[in-house]
């Protein structure tokens, strides 16, 4: 009887794995749709998809990553609404989920990069915490680079961090521009399995445009915003928030 059960288990595991992968793809689609529409409820629905799948496959580490990625987007949404209480909640949860992800897959560069960003969010919420969260953020991004030097999302997150970090503390606009340019270059060559993290290409152009604008180069800012929309015409952040801020834009 035990033997029959084991045989049945071996036969059903590939089907289960395929089912989980199908739902991961659906969850990724929900994330992108919610992000494009800047829809908090949609992002919460995407997050729930991944939570329901936990403990059902050998890909739980990836599910934890995507839950944390949803927390990352929800944190940004909360910041835009000046809701620091919600931001703290999503930052805490994101860090917790990524630590579990790393426990299960210690070589997940994307997880370390995202964890670095969350520690940066903690500094934004409490500037004094930069004395201990700054080094944590630095260690996480260094670990991500050591694992996958050519991961475009690591360069993207590094560029965003540099943009918000003063030059005297190792950041600055020039450093941000360089990191974002490298991210864009690497996105052009990225080729991953469909279920793996692949976000950020269009967003990198959006951030590069934002940096160009902060450096006083409006023309290049507009060019990069338009490149972002060439990659993702539904990028609501660029289409409805960044471009309209530039006087004279016809977008």
Given a contact cutoff of 8 angstroms between Cβ atoms, the answer to whether 164 and 171 are in contact is yes
Angle between helix 173-187 and helix 152-164 axes, rounded to 10 deg: 160
DSSP H or E segment with residue 129: none
CB-side exposure of 6: number of CA atoms within 13 Å?
A: 3
Residue 151 φ then ψ, to 5° = -80, 115
Phi, psi of 232 (to 5 degrees): -135, 95
What was the pLDDT predicted at 3?
A: 46
Distance CA 107, CA 123 (A): 26
Instruction: Look up the CATH number of domain 150-251.
Output: 1.25.40.10
Which of the residues in the chain have pLDDT under 50? Answer: 2-16, 249-251
Which listed CATH number (3.40.1350, 1.25.40, 1.10.3470, 1.10.1660) goes with 40-148? 1.25.40
- Give the global pTM: 0.90
pLDDT of residue 6: 32
Q: Is the dihedral of CA 60, 35, 189, 154 positive or negative?
A: negative
pLDDT at 248: 53
In the chain, what are the domain boundaries? 40-148, 150-251
Measure the CA–CA gap between 233 and 62, rounded to whole angstroms: 27
Within 10 Å of residue 21's Cβ, how many Cβ atoms?
Answer: 17
> CB–CB of 238/229 below 8 Å?
yes
pLDDT at 17: 55
How far apart, in whole angstroms, are the C-alpha atoms of residue 60 and residue 100? Answer: 9
What pLDDT was estimated at residue 57?
74
Q: What angle do CA 183, 207, 155 make, to 5 degrees?
A: 25
Domains 40-148 and 150-251 share a fold: yes
Q: What is the pLDDT of residue 18?
A: 63
Using only C-alpha atoms, the chain has a radius of gyration, in whole angstroms, of: 19
Residue 192 CB neighbour total at 10 angstroms: 8
């Amino acid at each position: 009887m035990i033997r029959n059960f084991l045989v049945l288990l071996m036969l059903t595991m590939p089907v289960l794995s395929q089912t989980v992968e199908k739902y991961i793809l659906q969850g990724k689609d929900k994330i992108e749709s919610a992000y494009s529409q800047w829809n908090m409820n949609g992002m919460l629905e995407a997050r729930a998809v991944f939570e329901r799948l936990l403990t059902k496959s050998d890909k739980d580490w990836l599910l934890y990553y995507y839950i944390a990625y949803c927390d990352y987007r929800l944190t940004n949404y909360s910041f835009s609404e000046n809701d620091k209480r919600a931001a703290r909640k999503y930052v805490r949860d994101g860090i917790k989920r990524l630590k579990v992800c790393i426990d299960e897959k210690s070589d997940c560069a994307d997880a370390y990069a995202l964890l670095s960003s969350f520690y940066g969010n903690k500094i934004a919420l409490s500037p004094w915490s930069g004395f201990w969260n700054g080094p944590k953020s630095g260690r996480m991004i260094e670990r991500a680079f050591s694992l996958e030097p050519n991961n475009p999302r690591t360069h993207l997150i590094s560029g965003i961090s540099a943009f918000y970090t003063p030059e005297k503390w190792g950041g600055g606009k020039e450093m941000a521009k360089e990191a974002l340019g490298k991210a864009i270059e690497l996105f052009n060559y990225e080729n991953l399995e469909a279920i793996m993290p692949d976000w950020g290409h269009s967003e990198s152009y959006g951030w590069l445009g934002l940096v160009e604008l902060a450096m006083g180069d409006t023309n290049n800012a507009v060019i990069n915003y338009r490149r972002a929309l060439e990659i993702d015409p539904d990028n609501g952040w660029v289409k409805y928030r960044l471009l309209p801020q530039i006087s004279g834009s016809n977008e």
